[in-house]
Structure 1
C-alpha cells in the first residue's frame, strides 16, 4: 500500500522478504509521515526465527512479503544483509521503535491502543506508558486471551476509538497473521507486533543488559534467562547455516 506522500522504502531481499535498510531515525520519520497520512501500515520486526518460519509456511511468507514495512529487528537479519552485500544501516529493535514512536507521538498527541499479553501485564503496561509519555493518550487496551469469535468485537472497539497506533503483543505466529487478516478493517495507520515488549515495560521481565545489547547477543540473554526457549532458538544457527549455504540465492524470491 503506497501513496505519493510517502518516501520509497529502501530494502534488501532476504528470501523474498523486503527488509528495510534504514536506521532508526529514518524509520521513525517515515512512520511519522505514515500516521499523518493515515495510510494503514503493518510493521513487522523481522528476526531469523520469523524468516525460518516463513520459509516453512507459505502463508506466513505471504504475510511478511505483503507487510508495508519490515524492519531488521534480529541481529541475524542484519548479519545476513551484510553477508549478501546489501547492508542495512543498523538494527532497528522493535522494543526501541515502540518507545521512539511514543516519544515522537507526544508532539502530536497520538492515540494508542494496546492489545495482548495477560490482564495484569496489559493493565500495568498501559499505566506505565501513560506516565512515561503523558503527551500521548492510551485510549484502550485488552489482553490477548481471545479467540476468533471475539475478533469482530475487538475490531469494532478499535475502530470506534480510532487510535493512531496499535501495538499487538502476542506470539509471532499469531500477532502477524491477526494484523494482516484485519488491517483493512482496523484502519489504524501504524499496526505493529511487539512480542514480549509489554512484559518488559510492565516490569514482569527484564530486557537484556546493555553489554548484551552492544554485543548483539540479546538472544543469548533470553536463552540464559529462559532455558525452555532452546527449541525455538535452534532456528538461529539453522538460519546462519542456510544463508552461508545459499550465498547468492538469499536475495532471490523463492
Structure 2
C-alpha cells in the first residue's frame, strides 16, 4: 500500500515538473519553440501577450539561453520575402513579437489572432522594470555616440538598479565586428539592445548571437532617439488607433517610401489569405 502511494506521489511530482518546464525556453539548437505562434508568410510570430513575453524572457535570462528577439512588423516581413538572407535571419530568430499593427491585423484576418501587440519600445521598458528586481545588466549598442550616451544617462535615472555595463554607437563596419563582439563579451550583459539600420540590425545580431552569448538580444530601432529626446513617441490616441506609424511619418517624412510597403502587405494578405499561415521552406 505504501509502495503504491509512493509511486503515485512520484508520478504526480514528475507530471508537475513536466508542466513547469514545458513553458520554459528551449536550449539552443533544440529546433522547437515552447510558446504558441502564428505563421505570417512562414515567419513564426509569437501569440504571447506582453506579460507572458516578459516572463518568457526572464526565464531566458535565468537559463542563460542566447535568444534573438525580433520586434516584427510588415516592413520587415516584406523585406524578408524579397531577400532570402533576411528571411532566414527572421525565421531562425528565437522569438518574433508582433510589434507592427499590420501584423496584429493580419493574424486576426487569417483567424489566428495574437493576444495583443507587443511593441518593442514597451517591451524594452518592461524588461528594464523587471530587471531592477534582479539587478540585471544591460549593454546599449547603436545610433550616434551622443544619442546612445544620452539614452544611457536617462535610462540610469529611470532604472537606477539596472547595471549599465556598456554603451557604444552603431557606426562600425564588418572590420570592427570582432572588436565590438569582444567588448560586449567582456561586459557579459544579461540584455543587449541594438539600434541600427533595418538592413544590418537583425542580420548583425543573427550572425553573431552565439558568439555574443547574451541571453536577450533585441533590435530596438528608433527607441534610443525617443529616449534621448530626439524624437517624440506617438500619443496614446495614435497608439490605440494603430496609427503610430503615421505619427512617425509626420516627424520623418523621408520615411514615406518605407511606409508604402504597408498597403502592399495588406493587399498581399487579402489576396493570399488561404496561404498566409502555411509554412514556407527557407529560401
TM-score range, shorter chain: over 0.9
Per-residue CA deviations over 1:108-137 (Å, capped at 9, x if unaligned) read: 100100000011100000111111001101
1:210 Cα shift?
A: 1.0
2:186 is aligned with 1:197: no
Report the secondary structure of 1:22's partner residue.
coil
1:7 Cα shift?
A: 8.0
Other-structure match for 2:15: none
Q: How does 1:138-153 map to 2 (within 5 A)?
A: 138-153=164-179
Report the secondary structure of 1:159's partner residue.
helix
2:121 is aligned with 1:95: yes
Q: Determine if contact 2:71/2:97 at 8 Å carries over to the other structure.
A: yes
Report the secondary structure of 1:191's partner residue.
strand
| TM-score in terms of structure 1 length | 0.97
1:228 Cα shift?
A: 1.3
Unaligned 5+ runs, structure 2: 1-24
Per-residue CA deviations over 1:150-187 (Å, capped at 9, x if unaligned) read: 11011011111100000000112111000000000000
Picking from 92, 95, 120, the partner of 1:69 is 95
Q: Determine if contact 1:24/1:92 at 8 Å carries over to the other structure.
A: yes
1:143 Cα shift?
A: 0.3
**Distance in 1 between residues matched to 2:84 and 2:183, nearest whole Å:** 31
- Structure having the higher Rg: 2
Picking from 114, 124, 139, the partner of 2:140 is 114
Other-structure match for 1:249: 275
Picking from 239, 263, 268, the partner of 1:237 is 263
1:227 Cα shift?
A: 1.4
Picking from 17, 28, 47, the partner of 2:54 is 28
Report the secondary structure of 2:35's partner residue.
coil
**Distance in 1 between residues matched to 2:228 and 2:33, nearest whole Å:** 34
Q: Determine if contact 2:26/2:33 at 8 Å carries over to the other structure.
A: no
1:3 Cα shift?
A: 3.1
1:253 Cα shift?
A: 2.4
Q: Determine if contact 1:7/1:30 at 8 Å carries over to the other structure.
A: no
**Distance in 2 between residues matched to 1:122 and 1:169, nearest whole Å:** 9
Report the secondary structure of 1:59's partner residue.
helix
Q: Determine if contact 1:112/1:165 at 8 Å carries over to the other structure.
A: yes
**Distance in 2 between residues matched to 1:7 and 1:186, nearest whole Å:** 21
Q: Determine if contact 2:61/2:190 at 8 Å carries over to the other structure.
A: yes
2:192 is aligned with 1:175: no
Unaligned 5+ runs, structure 1: none
